[in-house]
Structure 1
Amino acid sequence: MEKLSPTRIALKWGVILGISLMLVTLIMYLTDQGSNPWFGLLTLGAMVSVLVLSMQEYRKLNGGFMTYGEGFGIGALLSAVGGLLSSLFNTFYNVVIDPSIQQRAFEQARERLEDQGKLSDEQIDQALEISQKFQSPGFTFIAGVFGTIIMGAILSLIIAAIIRRNRNNPFD
């Protein structure tokens, strides 16, 4: 009997996660809702859903059993694949399709800081100048990939603990 590979399940669901995150990002950009916190919750919901569905599929195909380590491994790998795909899309969108999106985000940030009234104009300029250094395409790509991996790993630790089901006899 051929052993079921968690990698195959993780790659499949990682692509699904990547496409889901791309769609959320595209909708966010097209509706100009970059600062809307609901899109963060939508992203989190997509990640949780994909993690749960992938681990349930693996457990079902594995005779109803999945160890904690297998669940974590599936979640970490699919998060890496999803993060890579969504970060590639995000970088492509920001560099090729709509390079002005970052400028609009800085203008919105300036307005929010001015409305708060806690900083002087020089302090606002300084804060925006520092944050602009972290907005290069390479940095945002790497941050997107690692951010998705870290979030996926944390969620995988929790979800794998809930979904796991060990065999009574580990030698079966």
Structure 2
Amino acid sequence: MEQKISPSKSALPYGILFGIFMVLEFVILYVLNIDPITNPTVGIVVNVLNYLVLPVILIIIGCNNYKKKLNFGFISFGECLKIGVTICLIAGLIYALFSIVFNLIFPEFMDEILKKTRQVMVQKSPEMTSEQLDMAMSMTKKFMSPALVVPVTVVMFSFIGLIYSLIIGAFVKNDKPESF
């Protein structure tokens, strides 16, 4: 009887790599005092990397690794989906947990972000009343709470992994021929 190798064996290292890369990105920007809120070019580059380039590349590599090295040249569409979603889920979980720990260690960071967000809101919408601005800031603060950050980040990255896996799986899949 043939032993089946789990797709998670290929997804786990790439998910951890993706999560670590996002954490390093964040730490480098923090240490160099580069702010994506006030410097939109940096924000765009980081978002393109985290939401487009890295997930696509790592899902392709993870699927091809499973197909060529672990499963004798075969991979089903479902296995591609499992690999892609798992990679992005792990990365999202690592990044969300890191952001919570970071905010516990550096609580002033959250205050800085809220202050800069307020400045950008005033700059972009000078016609906002102070009540509207206060309401927007309170909503922003609620969405930055750990109770929402972790599930939203994990779901968002899992959804991104699902979408990219659907596309990548259509090209990478190579089903094992059925024997009678």
Provide TM-score, normalisation by structure 1: 0.88
Write the mapping of 1:79-158 to structure 2, written as runs, cut at 5 A: 79-96=88-105, 98-116=106-124, 117-158=126-167
Q: Which residue among 48, 51, 62 is the counterpart of 2:59?
A: 51
Distance 1:82 1:17 in 2: 5
- Matched position secondary structure for 1:144: helix
Structure 1 stretches of at least 4 aligned residues deviating more than 3 Å after TM superposition: none
**Cα distance, 1:112 vs structure 2:** 1.5
Task: After superposition, give the CA deviation of every residue in 1:67-113 in whole Å (9 maximum; x if it has no partner).
Answer: 111100111122222221121111111221x2222212211221122
> How big is the shift at 1:28?
3.0
1:39 equivalent in structure 2:
46
**Which amino acid is the alignment partner of residue 166 of structure 1?**
D
1:15 to 2:16 alignment: yes
Residue identity opposite 1:6 in structure 2:
P
Which one-letter code corresponds to 2:4 in the other structure?
K
Q: Is the 8 A contact 1:72 1:153 kept in 2?
A: yes
Code of the aligned partner of 2:8:
T
Alpha-carbon separation, structure 2, partners of 1:43 and 1:109: 21
Quote the residue 1:75 is aligned against.
Answer: 84
Letter in 2 for 1:32: I
- Aligned Cα root-mean-square deviation (Å): 1.8
Q: Which sections of structure 2, spanning at least 5 residues, go unmatched?
A: 38-42
Identity of aligned residues (%): 26
Match of 1:64 in 2: 73
Describe the SS at the equivalent of 2:4. coil
- TM-score by length of structure 2 reads 0.85
